[in-house]
Structure 1
């Protein structure tokens, strides 16, 4: 999809009106050249009142049409750019999590930052290109009426210039695509640079290897691609523009030797060709930016994100989740390919049941599939086989969004927002203060009337407590904690297992805990152990005590 089609999708009427204004600009420009040529042919001097009025009318018409076209297309470009950002954000949120994980954070960041910026710059090129196109069309029409024979010669030169420009342009587009793919790798390297600062600072050999083998080579490749694009564009543009001066030279010195050409025609063609130089030069300068925007737009479409029409803001508001009597996973499986592994990792088939007022511990070694199972339980992943049932009813693609609203979670890779985002409104202020005190954060964090946090610059354990506060305020039927206690001190770890989890159970919540803390397994009503993606038969801690 190109940028003009994107504008047409936003408003065909605006584009059509802007094109009409552009054509009027071209017609007025051609008329002005005709008036100037006529005055020069008569030797200059004052013209009659009618000629002056016509010249002034065409000047005002050209100015008005140019301004009108520019304003219309600029407004449309601005609206389209912001709509693209909004829709892209919605599409990311509506796309299945697994697909987003496959794309990777660097590619998504490059799309949100560079691709949207490139599309914006490309859209900025559309208004002047359409206006210049109208001017070129108007002038070419005037030249065709003035002399068909000379116009035929001009067409030959124009065709030669177009071919000599478009052939390298195809190569430039290929370089732009390569540059865009290299940019994804560069964003990945920058992410490693910012997130691996401690590791890079503490190991000189790793730091040098990262710079010399990863970051610098990628940056050098990106620089070379961009330099080649700039060099090729400069050469092709200069060559294309020089053809016009060659044509003027032939028109003035060679053509009169073969056939009689009136002086008025020579002057008119010289004026028109010189006048055409500016819009043609501007258009050729803008085309690579337009091409980069088109490449970026195609890259956005290649992400295969869910259309914005099915995004979260496009759906009707969901009703508050009702505590289910039970949630069943029946024969659920999920497969994915891990990095540096040839064979896919398969989780399942898994059978388990969640009930209100019960605590389930999921345990197992690293890489056993615990977090993947948590994403299946919460509806972030759709099972590849098997089904999830709520009170005996299967969860489908149409009801999965509603199903996800049953869960309050704190994953191991959680994100902490700078605000409670509406969870502290109304009469919840007292509850927020009580939770802060219970989580031993009342001296660290303050929350204003709008739910904004005074700081999130805390230790990992304290940040997890703030995330737990958010989960408490959500007040969902099911709570899931992924290695929540791993970063807590021994005292608060005891509070979590011996006080907070039993309180949630007493409140009728179904609780799922991923944990390695075997000393607290007695808290669980059920224990599910995973090994290499499969359930390993293991009785709960309470069952073991009962049989002793």
Structure 2
């Protein structure tokens, strides 16, 4: 089982110690049953010895059970803590393109549902180990009491386990289908929240969305889970039915075929009755463990891992940003991907382009020409299928890619604005932050206290200005702006192109600007046009404006 393997990797010694405590608890419980059986069937042992033994076994069973559960609880929470951190690191270390292809809805389902499901499954492990230990201890007692009855019990239990496994296998397949359907449901939920304005304004679209998409997917998910859980309920009831069949065979059938002593009959009956609770517990936990197993498989299918913390730590090692560079080059770089609403593959490149300190490079082109993808290749967020990205003549490799990324500060069109400046605004920079806020005309709307922004509930243009503030504070050698001015008013467009960009140039920063604002092309040192994934010569009027 994947959950148990995860615990073993987290702390093998603690797992073994916990298992030993569980076995002692199970053995103590079995010894208690034997002691009760001896008292009921008659024995020459003095009552004082029986009472002291009974009390000792009770205390041993209690102490070892608590010890086993405490150890497993600590390991379970520790493993869950490590799993969350490793999953977060895995997300950050995985290729960006992989997540863009999977879609945000699948990532949300994994982070919000799969982690909780795995956590719930791991929380059951302490109880499972203890109850399994009780089962093993009782079986050992039964074998010692009568090996013939024990062999018959093992045969019958094997048949019961096989039939139970067959039923639960059908249910587990349904859970896997339900988990896939849940991805689609999360996609609809995302459409519901992001498209709420369009759905409110168009009743027909709203009804089709709710009736055909959301309702249909939610209904399919309901049916899959209901069918699977019904099968689990039937299999659990079947297990309890077999349990009473065993008691019936012991009491009524076995004495006919083989004479049994009162001690054997009473001992087996007491033990089987005592096993009812742990067996029922184990069977009732099966659906929760199955869901946890499906969730872990889903995490792995998404290209994530919970096991390679060392590799992730190396990939995400804290790398200081290089203070300077001489030349950045893309040499015969290509990148292939699916474009939205297009089944064919789109190839960007081969691209040959360079950037130097103190240079303003404008990248222009139509929608869908590949400008943002080229910027992601520039910044190391995408890995080229062929060609090389070179920094000062040296190729950027998988080992150096994260260090290379530290050269860049970016504001993409789909930027994210954090609620704090994340270490970019220590007290000694407070005056600089206040100056930037005033210059961006945000000093009356936003305050920065201990690095936290007082609000991010602003217009898109104002949020972009805050993103620009964070970018300034990073103070990197290279800046990339993807349609930054598209949501600014004319005054701020002029300030951005004719004041801020020239300031960056004078400070020795290399700047790549993706823009459609042809009236400001003259600010650029160099203008390059991207058309259908290929770099082409700028048109004559563009060259004239840029010059």
Query: TM-score scaled by structure 2?
Result: 0.96
Please name the residue that 1:107 is paired with. Answer: 106
CA distance in 1, matches of 2:284, 2:243: 16
Partner of 2:452: helix, strand, or coil?
coil
Q: Verify: 1:455 aligned to 2:455, yes or no.
A: yes
CA RMSD of aligned residues (A): 1.8
Q: Verify: 1:124 aligned to 2:139, yes or no.
A: no
CA distance in 1, matches of 2:348, 2:414: 20
Return closer, same or farther for 1:487/1:478 CA change in 2, 3 Å cut-off: same
CA distance in 2, matches of 1:137, 1:175: 31
CA distance in 1, matches of 2:352, 2:86: 38
Please name the residue that 2:311 is paired with. Answer: 310
CA distance in 1, matches of 2:324, 2:541: 27
Report the CA distance between 1:349 and its aligned residue: 0.9
Partner of 1:311: helix, strand, or coil?
helix
- With 330-339 and 430-439 compared, the bigger mean Cα shift is at 330-339
Q: Verify: 1:76 aligned to 2:94, yes or no.
A: no
What does residue range 85-104 of structure 1 map to in structure 2 within 5 Å?
A: 85-104=84-103
Please name the residue that 1:235 is paired with. Answer: 234
Gaps of 5+ in 1: none
Partner of 2:368: helix, strand, or coil?
coil
Report the CA distance between 1:155 and its aligned residue: 2.3
CA distance in 2, matches of 1:376, 1:493: 26
Return closer, same or farther for 1:164/1:215 CA change in 2, 3 Å cut-off: same
- With 204-213 and 68-77 compared, the bigger mean Cα shift is at 204-213
CA distance in 2, matches of 1:245, 1:106: 47
Query: TM-score scaled by structure 1?
Result: 0.96
Check the 8 A contact 1:22/1:130 in 2, yes or no: yes
Q: Verify: 1:17 aligned to 2:25, yes or no.
A: no
Please name the residue that 1:378 is paired with. Answer: 379
Check the 8 A contact 2:518/2:545 in 1, yes or no: no
Please name the residue that 1:439 is paired with. Answer: 440
Check the 8 A contact 2:521/2:546 in 1, yes or no: no
CA distance in 1, matches of 2:41, 2:299: 55
Report the CA distance between 1:429 and its aligned residue: 0.5
Per-residue Cα deviation, 1:375-430 (whole angstroms, up to 9, x for no partner): 00111011111111112121111111111111110000000000001100041100
- With 3-12 and 538-547 compared, the bigger mean Cα shift is at 538-547
CA distance in 1, matches of 2:388, 2:337: 18
Please name the residue that 1:162 is paired with. Answer: 161
Return closer, same or farther for 1:543/1:247 CA change in 2, 3 Å cut-off: closer
Check the 8 A contact 1:93/1:312 in 2, yes or no: no
CA distance in 1, matches of 2:324, 2:540: 25
CA distance in 1, matches of 2:311, 2:441: 41
Report the CA distance between 1:537 and its aligned residue: 1.0
Please name the residue that 1:524 is paired with. Answer: 524
Per-residue Cα deviation, 1:170-219 (whole angstroms, up to 9, x for no partner): 11111111111111111111111111111111111111111112111111
- With 286-295 and 46-55 compared, the bigger mean Cα shift is at 46-55
CA distance in 2, matches of 1:437, 1:541: 37
Please name the residue that 1:212 is paired with. Answer: 211
Report the CA distance between 1:343 and its aligned residue: 2.0
CA distance in 1, matches of 2:542, 2:88: 47
Q: Between Structure 1 and Structure 2, how many residues are aligned?
A: 545
Return closer, same or farther for 1:499/1:50 CA change in 2, 3 Å cut-off: same
Report the CA distance between 1:150 and its aligned residue: 2.3
Q: Verify: 1:184 aligned to 2:177, yes or no.
A: no
CA distance in 2, matches of 1:316, 1:446: 32
Partner of 2:384: helix, strand, or coil?
coil
Per-residue Cα deviation, 1:410-457 (whole angstroms, up to 9, x for no partner): 000000000001100041100000000000000010110x21000000
Q: Verify: 1:326 aligned to 2:312, yes or no.
A: no
What does residue range 11-410 of structure 1 map to in structure 2 within 5 Å?
A: 11-42=11-42, 47-305=46-304, 307-311=308-312, 316-410=317-411
Check the 8 A contact 2:519/2:545 in 1, yes or no: no
CA distance in 2, matches of 1:381, 1:18: 46
Please name the residue that 2:414 is paired with. Answer: 413
Return closer, same or farther for 1:304/1:444 CA change in 2, 3 Å cut-off: same
Report the CA distance between 1:152 and its aligned residue: 2.8
- With 335-344 and 310-319 compared, the bigger mean Cα shift is at 310-319
Please name the residue that 1:476 is paired with. Answer: 476
CA distance in 1, matches of 2:406, 2:420: 20
Check the 8 A contact 2:417/2:467 in 1, yes or no: yes
Partner of 1:304: helix, strand, or coil?
coil
Partner of 2:326: helix, strand, or coil?
coil
CA distance in 2, matches of 1:379, 1:274: 65
Per-residue Cα deviation, 1:472-495 (whole angstroms, up to 9, x for no partner): 000111111001011111111111
Report the CA distance between 1:313 and its aligned residue: 7.0
CA distance in 1, matches of 2:540, 2:508: 20
CA distance in 2, matches of 1:533, 1:469: 31
CA distance in 2, matches of 1:66, 1:395: 56
Per-residue Cα deviation, 1:47-104 (whole angstroms, up to 9, x for no partner): 5222221111111111111111000001100000111000000010011111111222
CA distance in 1, matches of 2:340, 2:486: 25
Report the CA distance between 1:372 and its aligned residue: 0.3
CA distance in 2, matches of 1:327, 1:249: 82
CA distance in 2, matches of 1:343, 1:195: 27
CA distance in 1, matches of 2:358, 2:213: 51
CA distance in 1, matches of 2:219, 2:408: 46
Per-residue Cα deviation, 1:198-245 (whole angstroms, up to 9, x for no partner): 111111111111111211111111111111121111111011111121
Report the CA distance between 1:342 and its aligned residue: 2.9
Partner of 1:456: helix, strand, or coil?
coil
